Chains A and B, each alone.
Chain A
Amino acid sequence: DVKVTQSSRYLVKRTGEKVFLECVQDMDHENMFWYRQDPGLGLRLIYFSYDVKMKEKGDIPEGYSVSREKKERFSLILESASTNQTSMYLCASSSLYTNGGTEAFFGQGTRLTVV
């Protein structure tokens, strides 16, 4: 059974803390993604990576950074957490189908509350 595992389901952090969200996939996928999910806004892409040590900004990268030192692990870092970063964070991995298109596999999400 394919898996994308996020290290925490729920986190509560204080304003100004440095926060690490970890994600591991066991499918040997090249591509990994971090999204945040907010009601009425859907999923917004924060950062993605298409290879080890490679990263690209998504639509809302401000206040975040990422690290991909190994193929199976993609970390999201909140350098100095703020209350507007309270959200559900979803990690995903994917590879391309040989005939085109892609399927993204998602973790269960981390609900982060910044107080």
Chain B
Amino acid sequence: GEDVEQSLFLSVREGDSSVINCTYTDSSSTYLYWYKQEPGAGLQLLTYIFSNMDMKQDQRLTVLLNKKDKHLSLRIADTQTGDSAIYFCAESMGSNDYKLSFGAGTTVTVRA
């Protein structure tokens, strides 16, 4: 979606941290999401953050939100080969919480 932007590719060595970045334009976004798509599969929700939070941690995943700059990032610690996938940033807005707007997706390739 044109309102959510991500870089298209990221290559990372196994065991390193991955950082995937996303910018969005709508300041009324209430929730921001990260979805993962493995090859041949649909998307699956990884984590989400409410817009009044700065950070959320869930095991190897850390989400950082800079609301002033409208910047969202997903950090994956100790990246594994199973983390190779396409990662989508998405936002939902106010009264239309159920309607998601997705970025183009970042293809993460984990190399040995």
Q: Would A106 and B42 count as touching, CB distance under 8 A?
A: yes
Bound: A102/B30 CA distance, A: 11
Given the interface pairs A40-B104, A48-B99, A94-B98, the reply to whether A101 lies near B42 with Cβ below 8 Å is no
In Å, the complex CA distance between A66 and B54 comes to: 39
How many residues on the A side are at the interface (Cβ–Cβ under 8 A)?
29
A103 vs B98: C-alpha distance in the bound complex, in angstroms?
Answer: 8
Partner-contacting stretch, out of B13-21, B43-51, B66-74, B75-83 = B43-51
Partner of A102, one of B31, B102, B103, B105: B31
**Which residues from A are CB-within-8-Å of B35?**
104
Give min CB distance, B71 to chain A, whole Å.
Answer: 18
Measured CA separation A92–B98 after assembly (Å): 11
Chain A positions within 8 Å of B101 at CB level: 45
Q: How far in angstroms is the closest Cβ of chain B from A39?
A: 9
A61 to chain B, nearest CB (A): 14
Q: Within the complex, which residue of A42, A44, A100, A108 is in contact with B31, where a contact is CB–CB below 8 Å?
A: A100
A69 to chain B, nearest CB (A): 20
Quick check: is A95 within 8 A (CB to CB) of the other chain?
yes
Closest Cβ of chain B to A10, distance in Å, is 11
Are B1 and A59 within 8 A (Cβ)? yes
Complex CA–CA separation, A35 to B105 (angstroms): 14
Is A42 within 8 A of B88, CB to CB?
A: yes
Interface mask (B27-62 → A, CB under 8 Å = 1, otherwise 0): 000110001000011111100101000000000000
Give chain B residues whose Cβ lies under 8 Å from the Cβ of A108: 40-42
Report how far A48 CA is from B101 CA in the complex, Å.
Answer: 12
The answer for the CA separation of A101 and B97 in the assembled complex, in Å, is 6
Check A101–B92 contact: CB distance below 8 A.
Answer: yes
Whether, in the assembled complex, B100 has its beta carbon less than 8 Å from a beta carbon of chain A, the answer is yes
Sorted nearest first, the 10 A-B pairs with minimum C-beta distance are A106-B42, A42-B104, A43-B102, A101-B31, A106-B43, A31-B98, A102-B98, A103-B45, A42-B102, A42-B105
Give residues in A with beta carbon < 8 Å to B. Answer: 4, 30-31, 33, 35, 40-45, 48, 50, 59, 90, 92, 94-96, 100-109
